[in-house]
Amino acid sequence: MPITTQSELREFFGEPSKVARKKQQSKLDKHCRNFIALSPFLVLASSGADGSADASPKGDPAGFVAVLDDHTLLIPDRPGNKRVDTMGNLLANPHVGMVFFVPGMNETLRVNGRAEITTDEALLAPLAVNGRTPRSGLLVHVEEAYLHCAKALVRSQLWNADNHIDRKSFPTAGQIYADQVEGLDPEEMQRGYEERTRTGLY
């Protein structure tokens, strides 16, 4: 039987605990700042004007997201595939949700807010890597932040190396692209993919 109303949702699941309600912060406290400083990876969710959703991974050395103050984050935009799905969404709907990960930690940090695109060179200069300043970045104005419990990562055993697959058991990215896009050569695509991954990170 589908759940279609807020009242049905609450009746089925019950009320959150006091801690679950109270742990939500309206700013980045010392624990949030420390978590972000240790994080090399996050997933950023956004949605377009039509309500369609998108989630994008962002990664760099730990601490790559700059905490400008208690209410503001700056995420550098590194070279990619130029789809700019997230940025396109933000032009219509600035709301974003993020989940920060720290390798070895089962807790995650959830941060929600509003984002805007910046090309301010002075602002972006401190985020340069290998002498290359990002051309753009996302300024996130934080509205909510809270530590998410460990259950999902404990269940998944995400950090357990014994669960890592043999990469050769799964098709290469080049093969997948060739299967999905007519006319591509899988070996040529894979060579280009590996070269871009090696030389095009920044």
With beta carbons less than 8 A apart as the criterion, state whether 78 and 121 touch. Answer: no
pTM of structure = 0.94
Task: Give the pLDDT mean for 172-199.
Answer: 96
Structural domain total, the chain? 2
* pLDDT attached to residue 68: 98
Sign of the CA dihedral running 46, 49, 51, 53: negative
| pLDDT of 1 strictly over 90 | no
The string of DSSP codes covering 82-110 is S--HHHHHHHH--EEEEEEE-TT-S-EEE
- Tally Cβ neighbours within 10 Å of residue 44: 20
| pLDDT of 5 strictly over 90 | yes
43 shares its domain with 69: yes
Specify if 7 maps to a domain: no
- At 11-46, the pLDDT tens digits run 999 999 999 898 999 999 999 999 999 999 999 999
31 shares its domain with 110: yes
Residue numbers of the domain that contains 183: 165-199
- At 107-122, the pLDDT tens digits run 999 999 999 999 999 9
| Token couple for 118 | 């910046």
- Closest C-alpha among 135, 136, 100 to residue 116: 136
- At 68-105, the pLDDT tens digits run 999 999 999 999 999 999 999 999 999 999 999 999 99
31 shares its domain with 122: yes
* pLDDT attached to residue 15: 94
Task: Give the pLDDT mean for 132-140.
Answer: 97
The CATH number given to whatever domain includes residue 44 is: 2.30.110.10
